[in-house]
Amino acid sequence: MEKVLVINGSPRQARGSTGLVLTPFIEGLRENGANVDLVYASKLKVKPCACGQLSCWYQTPGECVIKDSMTELYSKLKQTHTLVFASPVYSPLPGDLQNIINRMVALLDPKLIFREGRTRARLRQDVNIKRVVLVAAGGWWEKENVNLLQHVIEEFAKNASVHFAGTLFRPHAYAMQTPDGVIPDGKRVLSAIQQAAYEMMTEKKFNQNTLDAISKPLLPREIYEEYLG
């Protein structure tokens, strides 16, 4: 069975736009046979990577000297096949999620390689992660707003020599709903997100048409610009 670990980096956890976008994705994964484990970065309160000497590489290989909730997360990470980072678009991502990514250096083997002009590491032999996925929600109108966050996650995957399977992004996510609930166009976006989960389970990648349906504008740019003043 495909094991999927989802790390929701939103400080608002399930209540925010990231949670709104992430929920149908998780539902789609489970409907297609995945064993999904969801954790919230803000609940874990992982401390920063702060030993300053990469002890997990050289003094205690594969083991972080900082003992906190990351210890349990390491076990989950080692067992997962697909790792999903879910995040709102900040500058570029929330601090609790950044701490987790930084602390994941303990999962890397320091036997470096030079590939396509870049120095890369690889995961240790006891880590089963095969692919990394980004699910993100943003407040700004344009879908390019996710580029910096995507770059961070994609570079993380490349540094670990793991396949980056793609980004599912919903710009101006607030426009999906009103106080009365999710609007019809918003429901179509949520349906497309479930389709994307099916594609990830069956093809291990997203169809571009599906991604376009997820990120399609829900309000004219002119109205957005008027709102900005």
CA dihedral (184, 186, 188, 190) positive or negative: negative
**pTM of the complete model beyond 0.75:** yes
Q: Which CATH number is 3-228's, of 3.40.50.360, 3.40.50.10540, 1.10.10.10, 3.30.70.20? A: 3.40.50.360
pLDDT at position 68: 95
Phi and psi angles of residue 199, each rounded to the nearest 5 degrees, phi first = -65, -40
Give dist(CA 166, CA 169) in Å, integer: 10
pLDDT at position 4: 98
Residue 228: pLDDT band with limits 50, 70, 90? confident
pLDDT at position 3: 98
Q: Which helix (H) or strand (E) holds 59?
A: none
Q: Is 223 left (phi over 0), alpha (psi -120 to 50) or beta?
A: alpha
Mean pLDDT score of the chain: 96
C-beta separation of 65 from 51 below 8 A: yes
Give dist(CA 188, CA 34) in Å, integer: 23
pLDDT at position 50: 92
Q: Please state the domain extents for the chain.
A: 3-228
Q: Please state, in angstroms and as integers, the Cα–Cα distance from residue 67 to each residue in 48, 70, 108, following that order.
A: 11, 7, 18
Give dist(CA 26, CA 20) in Å, integer: 11
Residue 227: pLDDT band with limits 50, 70, 90? confident
Q: What is the pLDDT of residues 31-83, one digit of tens each?
A: 999 999 999 999 998 999 999 999 999 999 999 999 999 999 999 999 999 99
Q: What is the pLDDT of residues 142-177, one digit of tens each?
A: 999 999 999 999 999 999 999 999 999 999 999 999
